């Protein structure tokens, strides 16, 4: 199957849905609020497996105005798991993933086989605080629309496994899915040395399906390879049922 084509039309459906929601925000809240655009995907796969990895949301590019990009990667790279040298130099998030996977070739192969790499919120902001402000300014529509996209992606993948980058992403998943967990208990149980280097496994019941949720470290800051080797052992155990 060629990159960027899904025979059943799922890719086209999610792209059109994302563009429609973006246009709705622009029409209601002015171009100025969304001139930084957005990015729906980081990687080159969509709906080719039951595995999804979510980052929080795309950061800024440095440009004054950006498009709202809904295309899959077509250059052979698969960020953040397989990146160009320039990409690794530019983004610590990509660079740290690359260093980690370079030390664990079996994980590198697994992540680059068919895992969809995307964002929980596709609209660009400089940081989490700015993302919260943008959501507030739109009366909660940024998160509401992101939740619609999230649910559609889960449906398209018939997802059995969702990975999220960092505990803030886990809290946002809980919020976008209308609170399946008590917010006070989202971060328990915890494994790992702590702070940045913590990871956990949860379960999300969606209809008759039980989806495994793995919260992994936020690789924008996680670069201690000794601590990450502990994480790698844990991750490999959790991924055994998914072909690791």
Q: Could you tell me the mean pLDDT of each successive run of 10 residues in the chain, 244 residues long?
A: 56 98 95 93 96 96 93 96 96 97 97 97 96 97 98 97 96 95 90 94 90 97 96 98 94
Tell which residue, 64, 55, 75, has the closest CA to residue 37: 64
Contacting residues for 51 by C-beta, under 8 A, at least 6 apart = 114, 115, 116, 157, 159, 160, 161, 163, 242
- State CA 39 to chain mean position distance: 11
pLDDT value of residue 32: 85
**Neighbour tally for 107: CB within 10 Å:** 18
Confidence at residue 1, expressed as pLDDT on a 0 to 100 scale: 33
Give the position of tokens 């939740």: 147
Domain map (residue ranges) of the chain: 10-238
Please give the pLDDT value at position 209: 84
The pTM of the full predicted model, rounded to 2 decimals, is 0.94
- How much is the pLDDT for 99? 97
Cα gap 48→237, rounded to integer Å: 23
Q: Which fold has domain 10-238?
A: Uracil-DNA Glycosylase, subunit E (3.40.470)
pLDDT of residue 3: 39
Total residues found in the chain within this entry: 244
- Identify the residue whose tokens are 């590019």: 61
Contact residues for 61 (Cβ-Cβ < 8 A; gap 6+): 36, 124
Strand pairing report for 209-216 and 197-206: antiparallel
Closest CA to 193 of 170, 240, 225: 225
């Amino acid at each position: 199957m060629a990159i960027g084509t899904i025979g059943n039309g799922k890719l086209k459906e999610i792209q059109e849905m994302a563009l429609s929601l973006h246009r709705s925000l622009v029409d209601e809240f002015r171009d100025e609020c969304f001139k930084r655009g957005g990015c729906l995907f980081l990687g080159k796969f969509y709906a080719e497996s039951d595995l999804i990895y979510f980052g929080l949301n795309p950061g800024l590019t440095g440009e004054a105005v950006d498009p709202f990009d809904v295309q899959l990667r077509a250059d052979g790279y698969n960020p953040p798991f397989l990146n160009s040298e320039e990409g690794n130099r530019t983004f610590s998030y990509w660079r740290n993933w690359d260093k980690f996977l370079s030390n664990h070739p079996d994980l590198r192969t697994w992540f680059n086989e068919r895992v969809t790499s995307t964002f929980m919120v596709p609209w660009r902001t400089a940081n989490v605080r700015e993302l919260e402000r943008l959501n507030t300014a739109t009366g909660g529509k940024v998160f509401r629309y992101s939740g619609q996209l999230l649910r559609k992606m889960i449906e398209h993948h018939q997802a059995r496994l969702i990975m999220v980058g960092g505990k803030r992403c886990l809290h946002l998943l809980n919020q976008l899915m209308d609170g399946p967990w008590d917010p006070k208990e989202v971060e328990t149980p915890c494994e790992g040395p702590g702070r940045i280097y913590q990871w956990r496994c949860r379960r999300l019941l969606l209809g008759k399906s039980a989806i495994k949720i793995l919260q992994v470290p936020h690789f924008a800051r996680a670069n201690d390879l000794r601590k990450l080797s502990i994480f790698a052992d844990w991750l490999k155990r959790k991924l055994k049922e998914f072909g690791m």
